Amino acid sequence: MNKKQIVSSSLLLIAIILLALLPLMTKKNSTINLVILLLLYMTLASSWNILGGYTGQTNLGHAAFFGIGSLITRLLWIGGIPFSIAFLAGGIGAVALALLIGIPAFKLRGVYFAIGTLALAQILNLTVSNIFPEMSYNPNLADYQLMPRYYLFLVLAILTIGSAYFLVNSKWGLGMMAVREGEDAAESLGISALKHKLLALSVSAFFAGLVGGAFAYYHVSYYLSMPFGPEWTFDPMMMAYIGGTGTIIGPIIGAVFFVGLKQFLVWNVGEYHLIIFGTLFILIVLFLPGGLVEAWNKSRRLLQSRTGQKKNRVVPIT
Amino acid sequence: MSAPDQDNHVVLSVQDLNIYYGNIRAVKDISFEVHEGEIVTLIGANGAGKSSTLRAISGIIPYKGTISYRGQDLHKVPADKIVAMGIAQVPEGRGIFGSLTVRENLKLATWQRKDKAEISRDYERVYSIFPRLKERLNQQGGTLSGGEQQMLAVGRALMSRGTLMLLDEPSMGLAPVLVRDIFKVLREINQSGTTILLVEQNAYMALRLAHRGYVLETGRVTISGTGQELMGNPRVKEAYLGG
C-alpha cells in the first residue's frame, strides 16, 4: 500500500467506527433518522452508479427496483415471514425484475433501456397504487426499535459501497468500463457487452432492492406505491451526478451534499427547492459532467501546475 | 513481396457476402480468401464496403453469405467469441478507451485468455515493439497522440493473441512517417507468424506490404491479384495510386 491508500483507508475506518458508535454518542432520534436518510441515499446512489456511472447505461427507473424490494419485503414481513428472509427476497425479486427488462432492452442499442426502465417504474407505480390503495400493511408499533434499523442501513451501505469497489476494480469492472467507452471496441476485444451490462444491472438492482427492503422495515406507515415514485429514481441519479458518476466516492459526496442542501432549502424556501435542484442538475450536467470529484481534481491539478511553474522559475541557469 | 506457399490452407474464407443497411446493399456478392501466413489487403475508396466487410467478419453487423474461419462457420458465433477463436482486431477509428489507462486498454485485450505466464510474455513483446507505450502505461488512452493510439490499438490486438489479425484503416489520420512505422511493425508481426487482413484507403502502402489484394468498388470485388500485380495494373494506378 502506498501513502495515499493508507490515508484513505484509515479515514474510511474512522468514518465507519464513528458511524457505528453514533447511537452511543447521541440519544436524539432526529440525528439517527437523518443519518439513516443519508445512508439510504448513499446506498441507492451507489447502486445506481454501478450501471449508470461505470457501465454507461442510463437507468431512468431505479425506483422500480427500490420499490419492488420494499413491496416484497413489506408484504412478506408483515405477513409473518422472518424479516431476514423477506429482506433477501426483496433483493432477489429486484434482480428478477431487472433481468426481465434488461435482457430484451439490452439486445437493442441506444435509448431503449432508458425508455424501458422509465416506463417500467411508472407502470409499477400506478399498478401498485391501484392494487394496494390503503395503508394497512403496518408493523406493530409496540415492537418498533430504531437501533436495529440504523445498523441495518449502516451494514447495507458498507456492503453496497464495498461490493461496488471490488466489482469495479475486478476484471469484470474493467470490462464494464470498456463497454461504457465503446461497445464495438469492447466486442472487438472479445468482451461481451450484453453480459457486462446484465451483470452491472443485476448488482445494481440487487442492492436497490435490498435498500428498498430496509426502507420497508424502517418506515412505519406509508402507501405501498410510495417507494415507486419517480423521486426514488431521480434523487439518487442527481446525487451521483453531483458527486461524480463512475467514481466510488462520488455518490457518497453527492448524497451528503444533496441531503444537506435539501434540508437547508426546505427550511428556507419550501417547495421552491425543487426548482433550485432542477437548475443545479442541468448546470452540473452541462458544465461539470464529472461532478464535485472532477471539480476537486481539476482545482488540485491547477494548483500543482502553478506551484510547479514556480519551481521551474527558481532553477538556476548553469 | 512474394506470396508464401500457395498450398497453405485457408485461414479465412468469405463466400458470396452481402451486407444490407435497410434497403441499401452495401456489399454485393464479395468472395475472397486469406491463407495461412499471408497479408491480404482490401483497398477501395470511401463507401466501397471495405469496413462493412470487416465488421461482418467481426460479427458486429448481420450479413448474408458464408464467412468461415479455419473451416468453422462464423454465422452464429457472437462477436466476443470470435475473438476467443483467434481473430484479433484493430477496429475502425482505433477504438481506444479514452478514460482508461494504456495498461487497462492492453489488459482488456487479455479478457478471454487464461494463460497467465504467456500473457506477461506478451506484454513484454508489445513493449519491445512499442517502447512508447511502456513509457505511457499509466496515462489515459484519450490523452495519447494519434500515432500512439494506433500503436496501442495494434498492441491490444497483439495482446488478444489471434492467429489472424483484422485491421481497419490503421493509417487513418496519421502522418506519413508514422504510417511507415506502423506498416513496418505489421510486416514484423506477420513474419512472426500472424496472418493479416488489412483494409486500407492508402493503397500504395497497403499494396507494398500485402502479398495479395482485392480492389473493392461500390460493394463489388473488381480486380484482384498479388500486391505487385495490382501496383502495376493501370486501372489501380490511375484510380488509387495517383496515376
Residues 1-40 of B with CB under 8 A from A: none
Is A192 domain-assigned? yes
Across chain B, mean pLDDT equals 91
Cα–Cα distance, A136 to A285 (Å, whole number): 41
| pLDDT tens figures, B151-202 | 999 999 999 888 999 999 999 888 899 899 999 999 999 999 999 999 998 9
Is A172 near chain B, with CB under 8 Å? no
**Per-residue confidence (pLDDT) for residue A318, from 0 to 100:** 33
In chain A, what residues touch B96 (CB-CB under 8 Å)?
Answer: 185
User: Would you say residue A315 has pLDDT above 80?
Assistant: no
* B24-35 sheet: strands from edge to edge: B24-35, B10-21, B64-69, B72-73
pLDDT at B137 over 50: yes
Give pLDDT, residue A313: 40
pLDDT category of residue A307 using cuts at 50, 70 and 90? low
**Could you read off the pLDDT of A183-213 as tens digits, one per residue?**
989 998 999 999 999 999 999 999 999 999 9
Smallest Cα–Cα separation from A48: which of A127, A130, A164, A146? Answer: A164
A169: DSSP letter:
T
Among candidates A177, A188, A246 on the partner chain, residue whose Cβ is nearest the Cβ of B58: A188
pLDDT, residue A309, reads 52
Contact status, residue B102 vs residue B152, Cβ threshold 8 Å: yes
CB A22 within 8 Å of CB A151: no
Question: For residue B46, with 0-12 CB atoms within 10 Å meaning exposed, 13-18 middle and 19 or more buried, which class applies?
Answer: exposed
Domain that holds residue A117: 29-229
Task: Note whether residue B59 is domain-resident.
Answer: yes
**A105 in a structural domain:** yes
Would you say residue A71 lies in a domain? yes
**Is residue B4, in this structure, part of any structural domain at all?**
no
B108–A186 CB contact, under 8 Å: yes
Least CB-CB distance to A185: which of B95, B107, B112? B95
Whether residue A184 lies within 8 A of chain B, CB to CB, comes out as yes
pLDDT at A26: 86
Of all residues in chain A, the one with the smallest CA distance to B82 is A190
**Tens-digit pLDDT profile for residues A216-262:** 999 999 999 999 999 999 999 999 999 999 999 999 999 999 999 98
The label of the residue with cell 493479416 reads: B196
Q: What is the pLDDT of residue A280?
A: 87
Given the C-alpha cell 411508472, which residue does it identify?
A122
Contact A189 B58 (CB under 8 A): no
Instruction: Provide ipTM, 2 decimals.
Output: 0.85
Judge whether B182 lies within some domain: yes
B107 at the A interface (CB within 8 A)? yes
Confidence tier at B243 by pLDDT (50, 70, 90): low
Domain-embedded: residue B45: yes
Rounded to an integer, what distance in angstroms lies between the CA atom of residue B225 and that of residue A246?
50
CB-CB under 8 Å, B156 with A187 = no
State the smallest CA–CA distance between residue A184 and chain B in angstroms: 7
Supply A313's cell numbers. 522559475
Identify the CA nearest to A17 among candidates A119, A203, A143, A154.
A154
- Give the integer Cα–Cα distance in Å for B83 and B213: 24
Please give the C-alpha separations between residue A307 and each of A300, A302, A316, A317, B166, in angstroms, as whole numbers.
11, 9, 17, 19, 47
pLDDT tens figures, B86-100: 999 998 888 899 999
Distances (CA, A) of A176 to A57, A169, A251, B85: 10, 10, 18, 22
**DSSP single-letter state for residue A229:** S
pLDDT attached to residue A1? 63
Contacts across the A-B interface (CB distance below 8 Å): 67
Q: CA-nearest residue of chain B to A172?
A: B111
- Whole-number Å distance between alpha carbons of B12 and B14: 7
CB contact under 8 A, A188 and B60: yes
CB contact under 8 A, A188 and B100: no
Percent of chain A past pLDDT 90, that is, above it, reads 70
Q: What is the pLDDT of residue A121?
A: 96
User: Which site among A188, A191, A192, A194 would you substitute to test the B interface, given the most B Cβ atoms closer than 10 Å to its Cβ?
Assistant: A188
Distance from CA of B228 to the nearest CA of A (A): 31
Predicted pLDDT at A47: 98
Range of the domain at B141: 10-240
Flag whether residue A199 sits within 8 Å of chain B, measured between CB atoms.
Answer: no
Mean pLDDT of chain A: 91
Determine whether the interchain pair A188/B89 forms a contact, defined as Cβ–Cβ distance below 8 Å.
yes
Residue B172 in domain: yes
Cβ contact A190–B58 (<8 Å): no
- B86: cell is 483467434
Residue A311 has pLDDT above 50, yes or no: no
User: Residue B164: what pLDDT?
Assistant: 96
The runs of H, that is alpha helices, within A57-111 are 62-78, 83-107
pLDDT of residue B241: 83
Q: For residue range A124-169, list pLDDT tens digits in order.
A: 999 999 999 888 888 888 889 999 999 999 999 999 999 999 999 9
Question: Residue B29's closest CA among B221, B217, B200, B199?
Answer: B221
Chain A contacts of B109, Cβ < 8 Å?
Answer: 189-190
- Nearest-Cα distance to chain A for B166, in Å, is 10
Number of domains in chain A: 1
Q: Which of B189, B196, B145, B193 is nearest to B168 (CA)?
A: B196
Query: What pTM does this model have?
Result: 0.89
Contact B97 A192 (CB under 8 A): no
Q: How confident is the model at residue A308 (pLDDT cuts 50, 70, 90)?
A: low
Residue B135 binned pLDDT confidence (cut-offs 50, 70, 90): very high
| CB B127, CB B135: distance < 8 Å | no
The CATH number that applies at residue B56 is 3.40.50.300
> Are A190 and B78 inside 8 Å of each other by CB?
no
Is B181 an 8 Å CB contact of chain A? no
How many residues make up chain B in this entry? 243
Q: Which three cell numbers stand for residue B238?
A: 490511375
Residue A148 confidence (pLDDT):
94
Residues of B in contact with A178 (CB under 8 A): 97, 100, 108
In a domain, B204, yes or no: yes
CB A95 within 8 A of CB A206: yes
**DSSP character string of B3-67:** PP-TTSPEEEEEEEEEEEETTEEEEEEEEEEEETT-EEEEEE-TTSSHHHHHHHHTTSS--EEEE
Q: What is the pLDDT of residue A107?
A: 85
Closest residue of chain A to B110, computed from CA coordinates:
A189
Mean pLDDT over B215-241 rounds to: 91
User: What is the pLDDT at residue B123?
Assistant: 94
Does the pLDDT of residue B6 top 90, yes or no? no
Query: Å from A293 to nearest chain B CA?
Result: 15
| Torsion angles phi and psi, residue B72, rounded to 5 | -100, 130
A98 closest CA partner among A69, A130, A75, A76? A69
Tell whether A312 is covered by a domain.
no
For residue A143, being part of any structural domain is answered with: yes
Cα distance between residue B4 and residue B23, in whole Å:
40
Nearest CA in chain A to B95: A185
Domain count, chain B: 1
Which residues in chain B have Cβ-Cβ distances shorter than 8 Å to A293? none
Q: Is A2 on the interface with B (CB under 8 A)?
A: no
Domain assignment present for residue B3? The answer is no
* Selected residue of A107, A174, A189 to mutate for chain B interface (largest B Cβ count, 10 A): A189
Task: Categorize the per-residue pLDDT at B212 as very low, low, confident or very high, splitting at 50, 70 and 90.
Answer: very high
pLDDT of residue A316: 37
The pLDDT, as a whole number, for residue A314 is 40
Residues of B in contact with A197 (CB under 8 A): none
The C-alpha of A100 sits at a distance from chain B's nearest C-alpha, in angstroms, of 22
Find chain A residues with C-beta within 8 A of B101's C-beta.
none
